[in-house]
Structure 1
């Protein structure tokens, strides 16, 4: 699976990393999907007041919000988020008769499957991660170098030193013609410092890498829940996900061995004889416990007496028979 074009990916991640911009675009896209009218139509446009209410309800996870909450969001949309989306070419803004309206613009990122997947659930209700981790993941992947770090680590098994990682990052950022032997020590030192102080802590906080600052060792977190999210594996980390989810030769042998062992165990369990139960003892116990306490003790004594009498009678008869024979 190939990563989306760099310009499109950079724009999308830069915009979608802000929760309120995600909520705004998700609201407009939902309106877009529920009607067949062309985007340029005035009826498709939403007022800033209406959008502020919709964004506030998504943000608080409640259909009932206060005027104060809506006012704060309204101010933030007007002065921060809508201008940023207009600059990116994702929405259009129009003021007519004192009312400002917003609508989606024609932009290729809205045709991307991974973007639509993210905007279909902007707070991560159906994901194996919470919204805080969604925000951290998008923030971590906004920076191209952090995506490069993930790509480099995906081609390594186990941990690598920060110095070796820095050299590989420099070589990868230098293009196809750059080799590891071409990386200079000053370049490696500069990138190492940036990784330690800026990039690796952010990736670690998002759960995408395992970073040991004291040992200066790092590895890709291949068991991170993000690898089970479509918009991650089809978008910013598409080329990395193929390597992460591809089993090695050892993994395949282990899986085959595990399957064989499982089949053997199942066969052994199926062939094992079932434990035999004593029906007579069980029936006697149930019969005895079902009787009243007094009858149980009497029955027990009577049964014992009969057994003793029977045994004594058999012994006496056998003794008489022997005496008769000897006589």
Structure 2
């Protein structure tokens, strides 16, 4: 975990941020597209308008939903430069604890070993590539279940090399999966994408790349936020899985299944129960509170808050803590019925790559 940035470090980064922001945030968006990137329909409706509730950087974001296929996507979409701006410092500064809490809720040794067992029911792979691996925590846990499998990791960040040095992955591939896929063609029996596709600019290209990298008969495991979860309507913009501005796509299960079939996969398992992550209520409260608390000392603010604001923010955070702990307990309490109903907030698909025609 990255330690929160010191006031001095924040002050040192402030001039660069303010220089960028002086040019406006509109330049971080592509032109608004008139059609659905999934099916091409022009029947689009606004699903969500929000600001950055994660780091509170300037800017506004819109998710639209297709009236024909129900695919939801950020429109206008962030440019690569925009993504870099809004991803930057996410694991540092005032929000390091929040980012780490979200990450740990979605992945743990127990959860990762359960994922490995789910795939082991269909294949005991010789080689497994974890895409979007971060620092390789999933491969390290999965190795306990599949000790004879060679686990590699792929990620665009530096963490994948840290994972290799720590022995959590055997080989580290740093870069974009779609760029690296030709060199990895036919190299793996298993691939995993855990909460990865929703961040990608073009999920279909990622699935095509996976088909290229998998050997015939190999298996692809995907976990995604479920845009049909009833928590989305209950919590509105405070539903953590909207995760704006970092989530570019929310893919309904039916759409993913159809796309996999069209690309030459056979879906062998679907699960909405086990992938559910019990954090909706607590995360929603954290986002709501964060939006209404006095400003933190962030480098994208024009100046550091005064002493009175710092004291008030700290006092209010302590005041909210009991409600947050109650929400965490409520998440755990409602998790069993949520997993059995449409309140489940995530789903898993396992698909087998068909032999080439």
TM-score > 0.5, shorter chain as reference:
no
Higher strand share: 2
Q: TM-score range by the shorter chain?
A: under 0.3
Give the number of the structure whose alpha-carbon radius of gyration is greater: 1
TM-score normalised over the length of structure 2: 0.20
TM-score normalised over the length of structure 1: 0.21
Higher helix share: 1
